[in-house]
Each structure stands twice: as structure tokens, then as C-alpha cells.
Amino acid sequence: MEIKGHTVEEIIDPTGILLGERFEFILQIVVPEDDELYSENGIYLKAIIAVEDDAVRIAQYQLFEKGTNDYIDLELEDDEKEFIVDYCKGHLA
């Protein structure tokens, strides 16, 4: 898995209920053809990243096919999740 680009936006909690900060990352992802996530059109991932004190984690994520914006009903493996958290840590606004 390779991340070719991203956008990030801070999510403001108007209620003040959530602890810490939340960010929405949209990651442009490239995977090899033999990966189950592979799509001819390409894929992107929307992730809500939670930052509480020094802890950074994925609160939620969804995979989509580029072009059609169809939801891809697959789960990331643990090492892929760690890769995404590390990437997002390095690109927090």
C-alpha cells in the first residue's frame, strides 16, 4: 500500500462532548493488482483520526472506489491501519 496524496480537515465538535481533536483525512491509495483492495479505477480512504493527549488512533474509516465513489466493504489489516496512523501523525494540521 502506498499513499500518493491526501487532504486533511479539522472536525470541530460543536457540542464539546468528544475528548481531544478529530481530523478527517482523505487518502489517495495505490495498491498492487494482486491486493484484494485493488480496483482498476483506484481507491481512496476516508479516515477520522482522533488525537487525545499524545495518542493518535483511527476512530473510523471507509474505503471507496475513485470515479464511482462506491463503498468498498473490506477491512484493513492491522499493519495497514498502523501505516495509516503513522502517515496521519506526520501530516496533522
Query: Are 45 and 26 in contact, with CB atoms under 8 Å apart?
Result: yes
Average model confidence (pLDDT) for the chain? 93
- 86's enclosing H/E stretch is helix 78-89
Phi, psi of 79 (to 5 degrees): -65, -30
Query: Are 59 and 77 in contact, with CB atoms under 8 Å apart?
Result: no
What gap in Å lies between CA 18 and CA 49, rounded to an integer?
12
pLDDT of 93 strictly over 70:
no
pLDDT band at residue 74 under the 50/70/90 scheme: very high
Q: Which of 21, 13, 9, 6 is nearest to 57 (CA)?
A: 21
Mean pLDDT of all residues in 53-66: 95
pLDDT band at residue 87 under the 50/70/90 scheme: very high
pLDDT band at residue 76 under the 50/70/90 scheme: very high
